[in-house]
Structure 1
Amino acid sequence: MKGFILCLILISLTEVMAQETKKDTLNSKWIPSLTTGINISQIAFSNWAKGGDNSISWTILTNFTLTKHWSSWTLRSNLKAVYGRSKIGSNTYKTTNNDFYWEKVLSYNVGWSVDPYLSNTIRTQISKGYDYKINPNGIQISDFWDPGYVTQSIGFTYDRLKNFKTRLGIAFQETFTKKFKQYSDNPNTADEIESFKFETGVESASDLQLKLDTNLIWDSKFRLFTRFERLNVWDVLWDNTITAKINSWLNVNFTYTVLYEKSQSTRTQIKEALQLGFTYTIL
């Protein structure tokens, strides 16, 4: 509960600090960017002697960013949601992508090479998540906000380069669960199963957008988090998307994600996908 209250306070602070610069409001504008699309992979057979089975896979994605600059303050908000499913033959659909990420960063320009910042990040999944390794029909292992992660961070950020931003700070991370308490339970308290976990540590987050060629763009996000009581154990998230634009609405996407969180698995998790996508830039 204390972590949840702290989360609300930090979110409110970003709004209050922004409103305190009313004298600059007329000289600044909100800069929105909204891209949405669907990636599809499909194969169908009819009287095909060499065998095979029909299959279809689709992924819907949305990426929304909102930025505002004042004379000294900068507020950046980024929301990314991805949901995908696949089906082979007469089998039922299986969930393949299921992520929700929302980040807000408020920084203050003090004239140094780095700027102090305050951030709040929310991570969860959009819908139910299943493990298909043991049971082909899937065993549910997660749901929306079960688990849900909220991280607040305060420190210094560097964003002097056009395509690269990085920050490092003291972080407070809360883990919320309802049914799947294995993500929040403290193994040192055998007589109690906790549905909430509060951790303090250090967080580093970096964003890179690099134009590799005329129609080839690489987007990368790299995040590290460690707890003060276990500085030798790090959570790692490295999320990469390489987009090859064919035209204004059609592209080929290659995504590669590396994840390590000991509370989820003692092994490094890897996810990759290559898909043809239809995208539409709304803003």
Structure 2
Amino acid sequence: MKRLITLILVMGISAIGYSQSDQAIDSLQGWRTSGKISLLINQSAFSNWQAGGDNSFAGNLKVNYNFNYTKDVWSLDNKLLLGYGLTNTEDDGTRKSDDRIELNSILSRAMKKEYWNFSFFMNFKTQFTDGYDYEDDFLDQNPGEDNENYPTSGLFKPAYWQFGPGFLWKKSDRFYVNIAPITSKLTFLTSEIWTYNDDDSSNVFYESSNDVETFGVDPGDNLLYELGMNIRVGYTFTLAKNITVENLIMLYSNYLEDPQNIDIDYTLDIEMKINDWLSTDFTVQTIYDDNSFEGFQVREVFGLGFNLNL
């Protein structure tokens, strides 16, 4: 297990190294790189405002970077997605608004049929820091306790790693579909986290991952293995002048348990460019994974972006 985690960390650090040294990559024949770093800012302030309001400030840092390689019939496509955001309000203090680490890679070999390739893909996802559940019921019924004593997630808590062979249909870097009918998916927890439980309204509490199933991982375990099918689609297009829309969707069905319950991870990112340095960015991400929550999880971020194009 430790060797597996070390391997994934090395892969992630290598990817970050690539994103910070794109000049070296571009000097190598066959490499194509593109991407940007964006800082999104939201702010509101009130003074003697009779209608009411809560002063707030939010910042989100995003990295979206592609580094792809092609030689003869072989291609290696990589996408690194990083995001971290904080929101501060007078009433609630500072809380996270975004936290994402994701690396996608597809190694492919061209077939004789146009646009089709044999492929092998890898996807890795986790987050940077601990997350918490801020349900008011817990504090009301457990005076003196603090939600932040009970992290519900964190770095490698959980982490997801998927990989497998398949077929890639790729018209361009902006439009592709990868189908992997034999995909291994590993979910791991490196330490104890907590699950919010309000089944009994008179006894609202947190349960440890050592005692109950958490993110599909059995109580006390740190690893869940699944075998299924993964489908990944990427589609980027220009909606109008200076407006770019990027769609990323990943579907997964577990053959070993409830294959009809398809995991969904969809991200819509719209950039409305003002100039080379400024843009308005709108991002919506929705996730369905019944191992973590029986319903749709939705995240939305909108703000003015300060951009550094790579």
- Aligned partner of 1:277: which letter? G
Q: CA deviation at 1:77?
A: 1.1
Distance 1:241 1:173, change over 3 A: same
User: Which aligned pairs between 1:18-167 and structure 2 lie closer than 5 A?
Assistant: 28-89=29-90, 91-113=92-114, 114-134=116-136, 138-139=147-148, 140-161=151-172, 163-167=174-178
2:155 is paired with a residue whose SS is: coil
| 2:199 paired residue number | none
| 2:303 paired residue number | 275
Separation in structure 1 between the aligned mates of residue 128 and residue 2 of structure 2, nearest angstrom:
25
CA contact (8 A) 1:58 1:84 kept: yes
Q: CA deviation at 1:32?
A: 2.1
Separation in structure 1 between the aligned mates of residue 235 and residue 161 of structure 2, nearest angstrom:
23
Q: Deviations over 1:107-138 (max 9, x none)?
A: 00122242110111110011111112236864
Structure 2: unaligned runs, 5 residues or longer = 12-26, 140-145, 194-208
1:179 aligns with 2:192: yes
| 1:194 paired residue number | 221
User: Which aligned pairs between 1:239-258 and structure 2 lie closer than 5 A?
Assistant: 239-258=267-286
Distance 1:218 1:34, change over 3 A: closer
| 2:254 paired residue number | 227
Separation in structure 1 between the aligned mates of residue 234 and residue 217 of structure 2, nearest angstrom:
31
Structure 1: unaligned runs, 5 residues or longer = 12-25, 187-191
- Indicate the larger mover: 42-51 or 119-128: 42-51
1:201 is paired with a residue whose SS is: strand
- Aligned partner of 1:105: which letter? I
CA contact (8 A) 1:77 1:104 kept: yes
1:266 is paired with a residue whose SS is: strand
CA contact (8 A) 1:84 1:97 kept: yes
Q: CA deviation at 1:143?
A: 0.7
Distance 1:239 1:28, change over 3 A: same
Separation in structure 1 between the aligned mates of residue 117 and residue 54 of structure 2, nearest angstrom:
56
TM-score by length of 1: 0.85
1:231 is paired with a residue whose SS is: coil
CA contact (8 A) 2:245 2:268 kept: yes
Q: CA deviation at 1:231?
A: 1.6
Q: CA deviation at 1:27?
A: 8.7
Moved over 6 A (4+): none
2:152 is paired with a residue whose SS is: strand
Separation in structure 2 between the aligned mates of residue 59 and residue 260 of structure 1, nearest angstrom:
23
1:46 is paired with a residue whose SS is: coil
Separation in structure 2 between the aligned mates of residue 51 and residue 94 of structure 1, nearest angstrom:
22
- Aligned partner of 2:233: which letter? S
Aligned residues: 260
CA contact (8 A) 2:187 2:217 kept: no
RMSD: 2.3
Q: CA deviation at 1:4?
A: 3.8
| 1:16 paired residue number | none
User: Which aligned pairs between 1:254-269 and structure 2 lie closer than 5 A?
Assistant: 254-269=282-297
TM-score by length of 2: 0.78
| 2:20 paired residue number | none
Report sequence identity in percent.
Answer: 23
